[in-house]
């Protein structure tokens, strides 16, 4: 038995949980569950990053105290993850006393080593990144490429961490531990950054106060990244816990590629200075786009993962089941470590193919055959023929590759190999043809075939548990098995075909993954595609990053058998929704600049099926370029000369290289049958609506 400690980044609370942050958190949970199955003693940590200038400003902008603001927002993260079947062992908030105390202790230790020195700084600071930028990091006009906003000139007195002393030691560590940073390409990036020479790092500030006070000089608060990185260690309180999970454990930090440098350079240098052990591995994953588009808070199109899970829950039987389906798609469709697109249509397709027609079908046909041929009981296995032996070899091979993939943090591959087992078993049923043996009255053969299939399914219930915990329980219940309850020291994952107790009752139930037909898929897509899409906002509900509402699919039809009453979808259409929106104040409404525009030109956007690019006259010196998701409803020529309603003061939104929309049109209806909002009469372009 070994110990395994996995962490997610702690999330800034200026945002709400979205698909990007859910991704890392779900991977961490799945990896934790895999290690639990192996009998390891495991620990998973997630939490929220609550200090710094960005959050201080965000709170002020909302007229709240920072403490109140961060507390409300942190609660949303803590409440979100269990809805995605994530069970973390601890949730850290950097405003907790337990964290602040230990960070001050770390500071004192590093200071005691002579690695902190008072000095002055001056530079370009991106408050969004909470990081100084060099000019070569910036776009023309001193704009941060990540936040698309100009950086600020900041100067003042600060403590500096003597990072420059650690270049050689870091490089030596990378050489001695080539897996310290993964994937491999990322290790090379980090190495060349360090080889390029490290400068000392300013780790305190005096220009704001929302942070942990520097011990002995409370005029300074700690730099938010010094405070935040320490969370992984600060939560381990007491000698025994530190020994178990810091000194004597495999420690894996999962991070996005944008914050790799903090974790692979600064954090190990702080630890080296303090004389503490280093984590085992920092794994940098890629960025997700949604339906081909970049997601971010500033683009207001970040996607609510809980809405997706709930909508799939109506298909798959429960909210937990819906979370399983989302988990599966995120982990299977995107190679962990690379950028990837989360595409809803592809999700439905994969759900049908992998889960419905492969795994779900294997269970349904096996239990159907048992109901007919073995009286609904587990039969006793007889002598294996070449067919069973061949299947066994194939399963052992895929099984070992799946566990190797989990060990190497390749969940996409682990799932591919797991589903390969289900495919092999489906082919085996066809070849072994128990129905033919049954006709011949060959009882022993029928029993062997069906017990083999049940054994494969029992094994699959173990292998899928890290990703599909709710469905694993359901699968096992139908096999008459108890749900998996891992315990330290017990390895569940011995490869091969499992043996079920002969004579035990099977308990067939609802289909594990009822497939979605074309009409159901259309309704799901309609319900889940964010309302703000392609620059055309439908006039009704919007699904944005801040929405935690449940997207209600319109009339989902499920092809195999009748859904249970609890899974029957409602047929409320988003376009005719009668739900009462949250009231806004008069001032909030007045802040939206609605204007009449006239479309002067309109063209399709190459390679984007849904988008049109329009030049819209708002009575300004130049027509505005607006990118709108209208192409499924209109031919470009139909729109030229049309009067439209434009939200004229929306922040510009990027749709890819050089494609920036400077406004949004109002429309209503599904994307293939949109009606544009307009005004009657002779109204000049630019007229304000009130």
Omega within 30 of 0 (cis) for the link into 496: no
In the complex, least distance from residue 56 CB atom to ligand MSP, rounded to whole angstroms = 14
Interaction mask 121-150, ligand MSP, x per CB under 6 A: ------------------------------
Residue 238: which residues within 8 A CB-CB, separation 6 or more?
none
Of 242-271, which residues contact ligand MSP (CB under 6 A)? Answer: 255-256, 258-259
Backbone torsions φ then ψ of 413, nearest 5 degrees: -75, -40
Span near ligand MSP by CB under 6 A; candidates 11-19, 453-461, 498-506, 547-555: 11-19
* 3-state SS, one letter per residue, for 447-481: HHHHHHHHHHHHHHHHHCCCCCHHHHHHHHHHCCC
| Closest to ligand MSP by CB, 166 or 283 | 283
Min dist. Cβ of residue 184 to ligand MSP (A): 19
Q: For residue 142, what are its two tokens?
A: 């001193």
Stretch that binds ligand MSP, among 68-76, 228-236, 434-442, 447-455 (CB under 6 A): 228-236
270 versus 492: smaller Cβ distance to ligand MSP: 270
Residue found by looking up tokens 């409320």 in the block: 572
CB atoms under 10 Å from CB of 621, counted, come to 4
Q: Which stretch binds ligand MSP (CB under 6 A): 226-234, 241-249, 371-379, 382-390?
A: 226-234
Q: Does 336 bind ligand MSP (CB under 6 A)?
A: no
Q: CB of 150: closest distance to ligand MSP in angstroms?
A: 19
Q: Could you say whether residue 330 binds ligand MSP (CB under 6 A)?
A: no
Nearer to ligand MSP, 92 or 596 (CB): 92
231 vs 235: CA distance, rounded Å? 6
For the CB of residue 611, give the shortest distance to ligand MSP in the complex, in Å: 20
Q: Which residue among 70, 271, 288, 558 contacts ligand MSP (CB under 6 A)?
A: 288
How far apart are alpha carbons 578 and 46 in whole angstroms? 37
Q: Compare residues 259 and 479 and give the one whose CB is closer to ligand MSP.
A: 259
Q: In b/e form, how buried is each residue of 242-265, taking b as 16+ CB within 10 angstroms?
A: eebbbeebbbbbbbbbebbbbbbb
Print the binding letters for residues 294-323 with ligand MSP: x by CB under 6 A, - otherwise.
-x----------------------------
> Among residues 291 and 451, whose Cβ is nearest to ligand MSP?
291
Which of residues 23 and 223 has its CB atom nearest to ligand MSP in the complex?
23
Q: Closer CB to ligand MSP, residue 231 or residue 329?
A: 231
Counting beta carbons within 10 angstroms of the beta carbon of residue 69, is it exposed (0 to 12), middle (13 to 18) or buried (19 or more)?
buried
Q: Comparing C-alpha atoms, which of 163, 152, 157, 142 is closest to residue 53?
A: 152
Ramachandran sector of residue 39 (left: φ over 0; alpha: ψ -120 to 50; beta: rest): left
DSSP state string for 373-419: HSTTBPPPP----HHHHHHHHHHHHHHHHHHHHHHTT-HHHHHHHHH
Least distance in angstroms from the C-beta of 343 to ligand MSP: 14
Residue 644 binding ligand MSP, by CB under 6 A: no
CA-based max dimension of the chain: 89
Alpha carbon distance 206, 121 (integer Å): 11
DSSP assignment string, 480-507 = T-PPP---TT------S---PPTTPBP-
Please give the Cα distance from 56 to 67 (Å, whole number): 9
Binding-site member from 6, 10, 311, 532 for ligand MSP (CB under 6 A): 10
Shortest spacing between CB 430 and ligand MSP, in angstroms: 40
**Across the strands, what pairs with 536?**
533, 665
Q: Which is nearer to ligand MSP, 516 or 532 (CB)?
A: 532
- Binding status of residue 379 toward ligand MSP by CB under 6 A: no
Q: Which stretch binds ligand MSP (CB under 6 A): 10-18, 195-203, 527-535, 661-669?
A: 10-18
Read off the tokens for 643: 């009067």
Site string for ligand MSP, 42-81 (x = CB under 6 A): -------x--------------------------------
Return phi, psi of residue 454, to 5°.
Answer: -65, -35
Where in 19-48 is the site for ligand MSP (CB under 6 A)?
20-21, 23-24
We find the least distance from the C-beta atom of residue 294 to ligand MSP, in angstroms, to be 8
User: Which residue from 4, 5, 11, 245 is in contact with ligand MSP, where contact means CB under 6 A?
Assistant: 11
By the criterion CB under 6 A, which residues form the site for ligand MSP?
9-12, 15, 20-21, 23-24, 49, 228-229, 231, 255-256, 258-259, 287-288, 295
């Amino acid at each position: 038995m070994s110990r395994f400690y996995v962490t997610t980044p702690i999330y800034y609370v200026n945002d709400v949980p979205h698909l990007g942050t859910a991704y890392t958190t779900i991977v961490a949970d799945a990896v934790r569950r895999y290690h639990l199955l192996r009998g390891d003693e495991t620990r998973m940590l997630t939490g929220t990053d609550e200090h710094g200038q960005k959050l201080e400003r965000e709170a002020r902008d909302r007229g709240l105290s920072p403490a109140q603001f961060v507390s409300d927002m942190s609660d949303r993260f803590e409440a979100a993850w269990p809805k995605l079947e994530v069970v973390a062992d601890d949730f850290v908030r950097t405003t907790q006393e337990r964290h602040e105390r230990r960070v001050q202790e770390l500071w004192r230790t590093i200071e005691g080593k002579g690695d902190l020195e008072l000095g002055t700084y001056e530079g370009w600071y991106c408050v969004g990144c909470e990081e100084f930028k060099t000019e070569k990091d910036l776009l023309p006009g001193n704009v941060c490429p990540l936040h698309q906003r100009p950086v600020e000139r900041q100067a003042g007195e600060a403590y500096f961490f003597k990072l420059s002393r650690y270049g050689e030691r870091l490089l030596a560590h990378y050489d001695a531990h080539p897996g310290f940073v993964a994937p491999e390409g990322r290790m090379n990036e980090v190495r060349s950054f360090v080889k390029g020479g490290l400068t000392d790092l300013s780790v305190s500030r005096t220009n704001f106060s929302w942070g942990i006070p520097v011990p002995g000089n409370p005029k300074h608060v700690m730099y938010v990244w010094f405070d935040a990185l320490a969370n992984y260690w600060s939560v381990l309180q007491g000698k025994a816990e530190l020994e178990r999970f810091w000194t004597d454990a495999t420690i894996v930090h999962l991070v996005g590629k944008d914050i790799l440098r903090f974790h692979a350079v600064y954090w190990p240098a702080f630890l080296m200075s303090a004389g503490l052990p280093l984590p085992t591995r920092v794994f940098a994953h890629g960025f997700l786009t949604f339906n081909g588009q970049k997601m971010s808070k500033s683009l207001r199109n970040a996607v609510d993962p809980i809405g997706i899970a709930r909508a799939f829950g109506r298909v798959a039987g429960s909210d937990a089941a819906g979370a399983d389906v989302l988990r599966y798609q995120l982990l299977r469709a995107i190679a962990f470590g690379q950028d990837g697109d989360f595409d809803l249509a592809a999700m439905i397709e994969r759900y049908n193919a992998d889960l419905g027609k492969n795994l779900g079908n294997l269970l349904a046909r096996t239990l159907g055959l048992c109901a007919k041929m073995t009286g609904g009981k587990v039969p006793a296995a007889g002598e294996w023929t070449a067919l069973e032996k061949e299947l066994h070899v194939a399963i052992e091979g895929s099984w070992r590759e799946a566990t190797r993939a989990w060990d190497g943090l390749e969940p996409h591959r682990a799932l591919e190999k797991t589903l390969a087992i289900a495919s092999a078993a489906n082919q085996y049923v066809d070849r072994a043809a128990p129905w033919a043996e049954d006709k011949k009255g060959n009882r022993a053969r029928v029993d062997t075939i069906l017990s083999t299939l049940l054994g494969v399914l029992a094994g699959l219930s173990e292998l899928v548990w890290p990703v599909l915990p709710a469905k694993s329980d359901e699968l096992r219940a139908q096999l008459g098995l108890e749900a998996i309850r891992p315990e330290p020291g017990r390895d569940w994952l011995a490869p091969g075909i499992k043996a079920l107790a002969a004579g035990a009752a099977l308990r067939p139930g609802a289909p594990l993954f009822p497939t979605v037909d074309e009409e159901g898929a259309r309704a799901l897509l309609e319900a889940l595609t964010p309302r703000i899409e392609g620059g055309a906002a439908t006039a009704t509900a919007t699904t944005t990053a801040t929405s935690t509402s449940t997207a209600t699919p319109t009339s989902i039809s499920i092809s195999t058998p009748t859904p249970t009453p609890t899974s029957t979808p409602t047929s409320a259409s988003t376009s005719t929704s009668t739900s009462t929106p949250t009231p806004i104040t008069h001032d909030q409404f007045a802040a939206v600049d609605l204007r009449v525009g006239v479309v002067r030109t309109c063209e399709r956007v190459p390679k984007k099926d849904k988008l049109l690019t329009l030049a819209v006259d708002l009575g300004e010196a130049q027509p505005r370029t607006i990118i709108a998701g209208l192409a499924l409803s209109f031919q470009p020529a139909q729109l030229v000369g049309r009067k439209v309603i434009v939200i004229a003061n929306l922040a510009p939104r990027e749709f890819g290289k050089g494609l920036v929309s400077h406004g949004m049109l109002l429309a209503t209806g599904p994307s293939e049958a949109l009606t544009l909002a307009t005004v009657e009469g002779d109204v000049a372009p630019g007229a304000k609506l009130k």
